């Protein structure tokens, strides 16, 4: 379904759709800023281009495991899982802001890998939640609007992240991102959509000849 201005207005008047979209927007804003700054931050701490590249790789290390993480996410209540991953990502970022130092590269890389895992789980749970919370007739339009919002954040948030990094350093960007995840978690808790425990998937046993 094409997301026309009229359809977008209709979606934004829907309480559940607007809350989910707001959570996507605010967390996406912080995530895009962190994705831009992570490698630069490590370069500033270590003066090493290779370690900066390693930090960027750590941030995206969970992407190949996304299908398995998504299958794991299907076993939990979607809204509860979204709140939990938002809070976990915020805690990781706060730890990163407080402890990042040249001699703690292992901690920085570990935090970035865990941050990426949270992102992959969050994406899977968010997609599943939207599919259950919204009218199937508007789901295609909502996904289009969400994609547009995410891409818009990728244009706007790097400017904010770069400015914060220039003026106050990497910890300020991590704190901003942590705040956006806390805001997203709060928005998800306001949803009224029922959040039942997903039914277990049937197991397929191999049969002998």
Domain of 22? 5-189
d(CA 191, CA 204): 35
Which has more confidence, 119 or 148? 119
Count structural domains, the chain: 1
d(CA 144, CA 130): 12
Q: What mean pLDDT comes out for the span 72-96?
A: 92
Identify whether 202 is part of a domain: no
The answer to whether residues 89 and 96 touch, using CB atoms and an 8 Å cutoff, is no
pLDDT greater than 70 at residue 202? no
Identify whether 34 is part of a domain: yes
Identify whether 194 is part of a domain: no
Min mean pLDDT across 33-37, 152-156, 163-167, 172-176 is at 152-156
Identify whether 84 is part of a domain: yes
Identify whether 196 is part of a domain: no
Q: Which two tokens stand for residue 120?
A: 């992959």
Identify whether 209 is part of a domain: no
Identify whether 199 is part of a domain: no
Identify whether 43 is part of a domain: yes
Q: What mean pLDDT comes out for the span 141-169?
A: 84
pLDDT greater than 90 at residue 11? no
Q: What is the pLDDT of residue 133?
A: 80
The answer to whether residues 16 and 191 touch, using CB atoms and an 8 Å cutoff, is yes
Q: What mean pLDDT comes out for the span 102-118?
A: 89
pLDDT greater than 70 at residue 84? yes
Which secondary-structure segment (H or E) carries 48?
Answer: none
Domain holding 160: CATH number? 1.20.1250.20
């Amino acid at each position: 379904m094409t997301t026309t201005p009229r359809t977008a207005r209709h979606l934004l008047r829907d309480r559940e759709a607007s809350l989910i979209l707001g959570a996507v927007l605010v967390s996406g804003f912080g995530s895009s800023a962190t994705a831009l700054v992570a490698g630069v931050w490590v370069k500033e701490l270590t003066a090493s281009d290779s370690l900066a590249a390693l930090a960027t790789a750590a941030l995206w290390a969970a992407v190949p495991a996304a299908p398995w993480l998504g299958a794991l996410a299907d076993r939990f209540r979607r809204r509860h899982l979204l709140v939990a991953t938002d809070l976990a990502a915020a805690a990781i970022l706060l730890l990163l802001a407080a402890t990042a130092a040249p001699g703690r590269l292992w901690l920085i890389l570990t935090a970035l890998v865990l941050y990426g895992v949270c992102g992959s789980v969050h994406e899977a749970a968010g997609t599943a939640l939207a599919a259950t919370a919204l009218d199937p007739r508007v789901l295609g339009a909502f996904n289009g609007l969400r994609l547009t919002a995410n891409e818009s954040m990728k244009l706007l948030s790097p400017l904010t992240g770069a400015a914060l990094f220039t003026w106050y350093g990497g910890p300020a960007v991590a704190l901003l991102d942590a705040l956006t995840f806390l805001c997203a978690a709060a928005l998800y808790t306001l949803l009224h959509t029922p959040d039942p425990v997903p039914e277990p998937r049937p197991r397929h046993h191999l049969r002998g000849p």
